[in-house]
Chains A and B, each alone.
Chain A
Amino acid sequence: MSRAGWVALAAALLGFPLVGGEYYINLASQIFIAAIFAASLNLLVGYGGLPSLGHASWLGLAAYISAWMSLKLGLAHWATAPLALLATTLVGCAFGWVSLRATGLGFLMLTLALSQVLWGTAYRWVSVTDGDNGLRGLTRPTPFGISLDDAASFYYFALAITAVAVWLMAVFVASPFGVALRGTRDQARRMSALGHDVWLIRWITFVYAAFWGAVSGLLFVYYNKYIHPASLSITASAEGLLAVIAGGSATLAGPIVGAVIVMILKNYVSGFIERWNMLLGFVFVFIVIFMPEGVVPGVRRLFGRGMRAWRSRR
């Protein structure tokens, strides 16, 4: 994108709370959370070629750990946030070690199974997670003494974190390591022959993705001030995967656009159309038929074709 484009995007994002109503600001905050979640999943799905159906584990786990520490141990946010991230990332190390014994469908099933273990634990370990009631009575943090309880301040908080997250993920992808990662996706054996440790590259990516999933989980629990086992369910994981595939995997903007589509359909359009699940299905069928590579690459392709046709006519 050109510099003018970036400036316009930044201005639009920064100025949005000045013009948008409270509801739309909150919707945007939720989109940011979903965008970090989808972008982190995209590291695995898009760049690593590792389809995970258990990414909600990281969102849910970080949210539960932070909620549990503040409710049961009475810790403050400055302590719970890094500890929750650390603990979630450590679990990510272990889960990655187990899941990456396989690739492809085997990997998918392992991530699904492990995330179901966490989901089941959240449901059944009632003394810790309060089971189906979920953990409640949480607060939002107050960074630098600023209360995040109103919509606009939380929006800016989420925006700042999203910007940092997307930037760091972009750096990761653009680095030589990111190139190696794509190499393991396209030609794993050749990469191995060239002396790269394919397993290690995948494992580091898995852990890195888990970390950013955990960041989105913290934002999620700050936003909702509540966490329920449903956030760890297969539906939550699948929603993230849908966002990645619909937006366009292996692109930076794709998962973000996908998250926007999913969140708007789920939270906004559902207010007008009762059978919004059906509409969601139609939208995905449409995307798959006309832009099987996802919205972002698809639009780019169609736009490019239109431009070429226009040039050749001149």
Chain B
Amino acid sequence: MAFTRRRFIQAAGLGASALGFPAIVRGQSGPIRVGLMTVKTGPLASGGIDMERALVQYLKERNYTMGGRKVDLFVGDSGGVPAQARTKIQELVERDRIHVMIGPLDTASALAADDYIRQAQLLTLSVAAAEDMTQRKPNPWFTRGTSTSSQSAQPLADYCAKTLKYKRMATIADDIAYGHEMCAGFQRVFEDAGGKIVQKLFSPLTVPDYGTYIAQLKTNVDGIFLGFAGSNGFRFFRQFNEYGLRGKIAVVGGMTAFDEAVLRNMGDEALGIVTSCWYSAEIENAINKRFVANFRVDWGYDPGFYAAATYVEAAVLEATLQALKGDIEDKPAFMKTVRAIKVDTARGPVSFDRYGNVVGSVYIRKVERKDGRLVNRVIHTYPNVSQFWTYKPEEFLKNPVYSRDWPPAKNLES
């Protein structure tokens, strides 16, 4: 058996504790190795590159020091292929010997890596939204400071039903777990508030043309909910516009449909669209203002969902490390601390439920023009939103996971 450095550190640590050194000495062996699992090639790359940029910015602002220890960053690129993500996570763990992973970006990669995270006991601060990883099959090494798929869609449904007074709505989303879960959460809350979802469409993630889907859209609805990821919201909406539907059907969007990352390529046609997300570059707090200002200086555009995701996760990591005085080697203690932490971040105050998922504000935003560029101005805030919305966790968890088929859509009209 090879006598690796990690083994050496473990052995040395054991020896040190046997000699009665205080625990803190054990914790201070070398830099903290942080792995970022992202996507820098392929269709998801724009978000993945934002993730890296924001994380690097955070580390630079802290001079690469967290909890009194230096931080080394290792970046893995999966190309958006789940099996490759798994290989890259293995590489981060087994070759770069990371202590903690931020990421992965996409739900499929998180699901593919689920059992490896358990097996390697890899401390994970996830960006991916897969619901069940913090619900029915909670992964003990997994914490999420962003949101589940439906966490932002559920408040939006409430807003549509109660404030916008919509009665009949349609949904369209990418045909992936993220899209299914988001629409299911939206549908459940909207119908519980007295509305009706009369049409549900799912288009393939890589569909080249939305024409056939737009042609199916019902025009006798109060609004349509877009649950798209990546640049698909932009592509769908452009065609929606070309078909002359803009102004005929009101559009509301999930947390990634009109993200800052795609908004900068849109024009006046996007004005007035309402979306919900746990973040907006327009949130008024000191941390966010500094984050946005620095990000704009470096890259010339506003940070969105993906950039904020790693920036928030880094803040969670730093707060945890401060509480632990830099001792990241004790994994159970880390998980206990991170899930009990309360920290102010760019998205506002953040805490965690006992399943490891974030409880934080969700913002209803409206696209407006400011200083010549489009922004998501916050028009309403739902504070302390949990992944279970207002349902009781125990009852919520008795239901099947949100999917294409659950909750059943009873009000569809053909």
Decide whether A and B assemble into one complex.
yes
* Residue ranges of A at the interface with B (Cβ–Cβ < 8 Å): 18-23, 26, 30, 123-124, 126, 131-134, 136-137, 149, 224-228, 230-231, 267, 270-271, 274, 277
Query: Which of B111-119, B192-200, B239-247, B287-295 has 4 or more CB atoms under 8 Å from chain A?
Result: B111-119
Least Cβ–Cβ distance between B172 and chain A, in angstroms: 16
Residue A23 contacts which of B40, B41, B95 (CB distance < 8 angstroms)?
A: B95
- Bound state CA distance, A271 and B40, in angstroms? 12
Q: Please determine whether B77 and A228 come into contact, CB atoms closer than 8 angstroms.
A: no
Q: Which A residues lie within 8 Å of B107 (CB)?
A: 133
Contacts of B31 in A (CB 8 A): none
Whether the Cβ atoms of B4 and A274 lie closer than 8 Å is: no
A18, A126, A227: most-surrounded residue (chain B CB, <10 A) = A126
Shortest CB distance B82–A (Å)? 4
- Say yes or no: A270 contacts B77, CB within 8 Å: yes
Chain B 165-180 interface residues, beta-carbon cutoff 8 Å to A: 175-177
Chain B: minimal CB distance from A277 (Å): 7
B203-250 contacts to A (CB < 8 Å): 204-205
* Contact mask for chain B residues 1-33; partner A; CB cutoff 8 A; 1 contact, 0 none: 110100000000000000000000000000000
CA of A123 to CA of B88, assembled, Å: 23
Check B91 for interface membership: any CB of A closer than 8 A: yes
Q: Is the CB of B176 within 8 A of A131?
A: yes
Instruction: Compute how far the CA of A230 lies from the CA of B39 in the bound complex, rounded to whole angstroms.
Output: 15
Q: Which of chain A's residues have a CB closer than 8 A to the CB of B176? A: 131-133
Chain B residues with a Cβ under 8 A of chain A: 1-2, 4, 40-41, 76-77, 81-83, 86-88, 90-91, 94-96, 107-108, 111-112, 114-115, 119, 175-177, 204-205, 404
Of B112, B119, B175, the contact of A134 (CB 8 Å cutoff): B112
How many Å lie between the Cα of A22 and that of B115 in the bound state?
Answer: 17
Main secondary structure of the interface of A (DSSP, over half): helix
Q: Is the CB–CB distance between A226 and B83 below 8 Å?
A: yes
Other-chain residue from B76, B86, B177 in contact with A224 (beta carbon distance below 8 A): B86
Known contacts A132-B176, A132-B205; decide if A226 and B94 are in contact (CB<8 Å).
no
Taking A226-B86, A230-B83, A274-B77 as contacts, is the C-beta distance between A19 and B115 under 8 angstroms? no
Q: Which A-chain residue is minimally distant from B77 (CB atoms)? A: A270
Q: If A19-B2, A126-B404, A271-B76 touch, does A134 touch B90 (CB 8 Å cutoff)?
A: no
Chain B residue numbers with a CB within 8 Å of A267 are 87-88, 91
Query: Which residues of chain B are near A21, meaning CB under 8 Å?
Result: 2, 4, 94-95
Q: Which residue of the partner chain, among A19, A137, A228, contacts B83 with CB atoms under 8 Å?
A: A228
Contact between chains at B82 and A134 (CB < 8 Å): yes
Residues of B near A124 (CB, < 8 A) are 175, 204
With A225-B115, A226-B82, A230-B82 as known contacts, state yes or no: A132 contacts B95, CB within 8 Å: no
Closest to A133 in B: B177
Which one of A18, A132, A137, A231 has the greatest number of beta carbons of chain B within 10 Å? A132
- In the assembled complex, 27 residue pairs joining A and B whose CB atoms fall closer than 8 Å, in A order, are A19-B2, A20-B2, A21-B4, A22-B94, A26-B94, A30-B87, A123-B204, A131-B175, A132-B175, A132-B177, A133-B107, A133-B111, A134-B82, A134-B108, A134-B111, A136-B111, A136-B112, A224-B112, A225-B115, A226-B82, A226-B86, A226-B111, A226-B112, A228-B108, A230-B83, A271-B95, A271-B96
